[in-house]
Amino acid sequence: MDGTLLKPVIDFAEMRRRVGLMPDQGDILDVINRWPEAERARAYATIAEIEEQALRDMALMPGALELCGFLDQRGIPRGLITRNVRRSVQHFHDFLGLVPFKPAITRECEFPYKPSPAALQHIASSWGVEIGQVLMVGDSVQDDVVSGNRAGAITVLLDHAARRGPESFSGERRPTHVVGSLTDLQDLLETSYTLLPPPFQKATVLTTQD
pLDDT by residue (tens digit) across 36-64? 999 989 998 998 888 888 888 889 999 99
161 C-beta neighbours (distance < 10 Å), count:
6
209 pLDDT band, cuts 50/70/90, is: low
Considering only CA atoms, give the Rg of the chain.
Answer: 17
Q: Which of these, 195, 209, 193, lies nearest to 77 by C-alpha position?
A: 195
pTM recorded for the entire structure: 0.82
pLDDT in tens, 80-114: 999 888 989 999 999 888 889 999 999 898 899 89
DSSP 91-147: HHHHHHTSSPPSSEE-TTSSSPPTT-SHHHHHHHHHHT--GGGEEEEES-IIIIIHH
The pLDDT of residue 154 is: 97
User: What whole-number distance in Å separates Cα of residue 32 and Cα of residue 59?
Assistant: 28
Residue-range domain boundaries for the chain: 12-56, 64-209
71 within 8 A of 78, measured Cβ to Cβ: yes
- Please tell me the distance from the alpha carbon of residue 121 to that of residue 108, in angstroms, as a whole number: 17
The fold adopted by the segment(s) 64-209 is Rossmann fold (3.40.50)
- For position 202, what pLDDT does the model report? 44
Say how far apart CA 180 and CA 161 lie, in whole Å.
6
Interatomic CA distance for residues 110 and 67, integer angstroms = 29
Contact 138/151 with Cβ under 8 angstroms?
Answer: no
Peptide bond just before 199 cis, omega within 30 deg? yes
Note the pLDDT tens digit of each residue in 124-149. 999 999 999 999 999 999 999 999 99
Cα–Cα dist 164/203, whole Å: 28
Q: What tens digit of pLDDT does each residue of 144-161 get?
A: 999 999 999 999 999 987
Kindly report the number of other CB atoms within 10 A of residue 180's CB atom: 15
What backbone torsions phi and psi does residue 146 show, to the nearest 5 degrees?
A: -60, -45
Predicted local distance difference test score (pLDDT) of residue 52: 83
What does the DSSP 8-state code read for residue 61?
Answer: P
Give pLDDT, residue 207: 53
Q: Is the pLDDT of residue 192 over 90?
A: yes
